[in-house]
Structures are given as structure tokens and as C-alpha cells.
Amino acid sequence: MQQTKLAQQLIVDDSIDIQTLFELNNSPTKDALDVASKLTALQRAKVAQFCYARVHMRKMGLHIAATCELPELLEVFGAGAKTILKQSRDVEETLTSLKKSQSQYTKKPVSLRVVAGSTDIDSDSIAEEFVE
């Protein structure tokens, strides 16, 4: 009964209720999937797309996408539907892969620490070079 009520609150006039969705995101995956199972396939695909587009909700989006078939995903995701379908079939592997690929592009920390044995920079001589 509680899951049916949440499912009704989640989709109102074919729009996603953000508050209900965030509550689901903080609940166990099984509970979120129980609620999603009460939605139509197209509604599930829309919820999956909404969640997938937000990094902190991507896992739930992939789990919900796993309950959808390709036609619904194509309607909502367009050209990316086949990729989402494939990713949703092994959520943990997908998330691990995404984390690895994101870490390649993360900026490395910068330190202003002076390294032992380095020469001091004479700021006056640098300033003179720019003035000339």
C-alpha cells in the first residue's frame, strides 16, 4: 500500500515529483524498485532518465532503467538508449567504470610548497622583464 501511494506521488500529470524522488533515492534500492514497479514502462524510463542525469542519483537511474525495455528507453533517451540498456544490465560494473574514467580527468592537487634545493625567484627581475 505504501509503495503504491509513493508511486502515485512520484508521477503527477506525467511530471516527476522531485521531493518523492529524493525520498526514494535515500531509501534502499529494493524499495525504490518496488515503487517504480507500480509505474508504467514509459514512466519508469522517464524516472530513469531523470535520475541518470544526476550523478548522485545515477545508481538508482540505472536500476530503474534495468526494468525497462528498449522501446521505452528509445522514446526517452533517444540515441543513447542502447548504451543505457547495456549499462543497466550490470549496474555495479558500470558505476565502477564511470568512476575510473572520471578519475582520469580529475585535476591533480597543486602545492605551493617550496621544494628543498630550489632557487629563490627574484620578483624584481621578473617585473623588470615585463616593463622593458
pLDDT by position in tens, the chain (length 132): 455 556 556 665 566 677 777 777 778 888 888 888 888 899 899 989 988 988 888 899 999 999 999 999 999 999 999 999 999 999 889 888 877 776 666 676 777 777 666 665 655 555 565 555
Q: Identify which of 53, 60, 72, 54 has the alpha carbon closest to the alpha carbon of residue 31.
A: 60
pTM score, whole prediction: 0.64
The grid coordinates of residue 4 equal 503504491
> What phi and psi values does residue 15 have, to the nearest 5 degrees?
-115, 150
What is the identity of the amino acid at 117?
Answer: G
Return d(Cα 59, Cα 66) in angstroms, integer.
Answer: 11
Query: What 3-state DSSP class applies to 11?
Result: strand
Return d(Cα 1, Cα 12) in angstroms, integer.
Answer: 18
What is the identity of the amino acid at 80?
Answer: G
